[in-house]
Amino acid sequence: MLVIEDLQVKLGDKEVLRHIDLEIKPGETHVLFGPNGSGKTSLLMTIMGYPQYEVTEGKITFNGQDITSLPVNERARLGIGISYQRPPTINGVKTSQIVGICAKGDVDTKAMAAKVNFSEFLARDINDGFSGGEIKRSELLQLMAQDPQLLLFDEPESGVDLENMVLIGSTISELLQRDFKMNDGKTQKERRTSRTKMGLIITHTGFILDYVTADKGQVLYNGALTCTTNPREIFKCISQVGYEECVRCAI
């Protein structure tokens, strides 16, 4: 379980997150909406432990452990993983190598890559010249290898063409145990109630909801969470009246 209590975060001199309270229970997936610059990525980076995001108040607890001041790699080890929107290129470091790092060596990289149609990229330098869709597939491949408990997705649909969107959507569903497999001997209800994976998905457009089911929607506006309800309802509201309405709710 991820518990965020009264979290306040500064990036440089700027306050980017204000009094955030958020709880993601095992098996739950939340969708985080918000206009550009509202602090969505800041929240993900703070959960992941990026040092430039300075926690000035509040705390983050993961599976009972206070992780507020743990370094990034410790959080990864505890089971937090992230799919970045714009990951850096690292020259000379091959994609296959990173997949191995994520899995701590114990992985059939080729078979895994085939699942996200990424086999031909394994020998390439990580993120070097990757298109939008390729970056997402690479990020998902790494998450598959890492197999974390809490998965953070930063705009998984951005820059992805329609064809890739289906693959990306279904892969995220599977990673979050939200796919509808028919042949594992369990009923769909049993599958649902035995879910353990937690997810937090940032979306700007909401398109990801066509592919991934979610339990809760959150709106982040100007660094504060302004509403929590059914994600589809939030999406519909934003689609029709825009984020301007969030201003009124934020007051």
User: Interface residues with other proteins (CB under 8 A)?
Assistant: 48-51, 71-73, 75-77, 81-82, 84, 87-88, 90-93, 97-98, 101-102, 104, 125, 142, 146
C-beta of 51 vs 129, nearer to other proteins: 51
Give the nearest distance from C-beta 173 to other proteins in angstroms: 22
C-beta of 127 vs 226, nearer to other proteins: 127
C-beta of 70 vs 250, nearer to other proteins: 70
User: Measured in whole angstroms, how far is the alpha carbon of residue 103 from the centre of its chain?
Assistant: 18
Give the nearest distance from C-beta 104 to other proteins in angstroms: 7
For CA atoms 251, 225, 214, 186, give the dihedral sign: negative
Give the nearest distance from C-beta 143 to other proteins in angstroms: 9
Question: With contact defined as beta carbons under 8 Å apart, do 5 and 21 qualify?
Answer: yes
DSSP structure string for 20-82:
EEEEE-TT-EEEEE--TTSSHHHHHHHHHT-TTEEEEEEEEEETTEE-TT--HHHHHHHTEEE
C-beta of 91 vs 187, nearer to other proteins: 91
Give the nearest distance from C-beta 163 to other proteins in angstroms: 27
- The dihedrals phi and psi of 42, each to the nearest 5 degrees, come to -60, -40
C-beta of 142 vs 173, nearer to other proteins: 142
55 beta partners: 9
Give the nearest distance from C-beta 89 to other proteins in angstroms: 8
